[in-house]
Structure 1
């Protein structure tokens, strides 16, 4: 193999490991998973970082891996049972702050998976922010990550 293809291959591998960004928003540690191999739903988790001086908000997400993609969280109902619900208003990302999308809290939900999410695969997710616009994120499928993720904390 000549040097040029090796450098290109290395650059592509490195690019997928770097945080995604647009405007003042940086996406750190994104990953996706399904609850089981036969699941028709899955989820994505990450940290949204706002390096700017003005608040922003994640308002939508899309991906070709699912018939529908929604922003979700867990809320306790009147009977004390935790339920997953859509968050139509999206997730605020304060100026100079961060918002964790983590298992058991806020997350991106894939409904009606068009293919299985298999360990080691990569999925493309487009995140839409009120101010920063769209950010396309290539995220690994990590089915082995623990319940709290790689050092991630519960959602706000």
Structure 2
């Protein structure tokens, strides 16, 4: 039989491991959950960054820009189906509606990094500044996940 003390210690360790994997940021009414990217193969010059923004406020906001030293250029992009062809285009802003969640994810809105300064290795982190119209600038750490990481797996953290 397991002792109460052993059980409680196990619960504490489980909780600590969950909080070690999740990383969240707050800016006013905005909560930014788990900003991440995938590790890049040798020679790759570009990468996408993904995250979830939850707006608990009564006022909409917009993500209007991004900035990082990890790449020569960082832009907001959207992928969408156009006459049966998936296309990616730069966008000037991503709407963050009031009382809603906006996910930047593979195949949708995302941050595009061009000419990476160094290859992205699983387990590494690098800073990125999100620029919101109302909430202002928010510096986040981007966690580098495995090459094959998918958006669905990121919500399990």
The separation in 2 between residues aligned to 1:87 and 1:17, in whole angstroms, is 28
1:93-124 residue CA offsets vs partner (Å, 9 max, x unmatched): 11111101111111011011111111110011
Secondary structure of the structure 2 residue equivalent to 1:150:
helix
How far off is 1:17 after superposition? 4.1
**Corresponding position of 1:125:** 128
- Give the structure with higher Rg (CA): 2
Q: How many residues align?
A: 137
Equivalent residue for 2:87?
83
Moved more, 125-134 or 140-149: 140-149
Q: Deviations over 1:118-141 (max 9, x none)?
A: 111001110000000000001210
2:41 aligned counterpart, secondary structure: coil
Q: Mind listing any 5+ residue stretches in structure 1 that lack a counterpart?
A: 1-13
- Alpha-carbon deviation of 1:16? 8.2
* 2:48 matched residue in structure 1: 43
Compare the two structures and name the one with the higher helix fraction: 2
Equivalent-residue separation in structure 2 for 1:67 and 1:102 (angstroms): 21
The residue matched to 2:63 in structure 1 has which SS?
strand
Q: Which runs of 5+ in 2 are unaligned?
A: 1-18
Query: What is the aligned counterpart of 1:102 among 99, 105, 109?
Result: 105
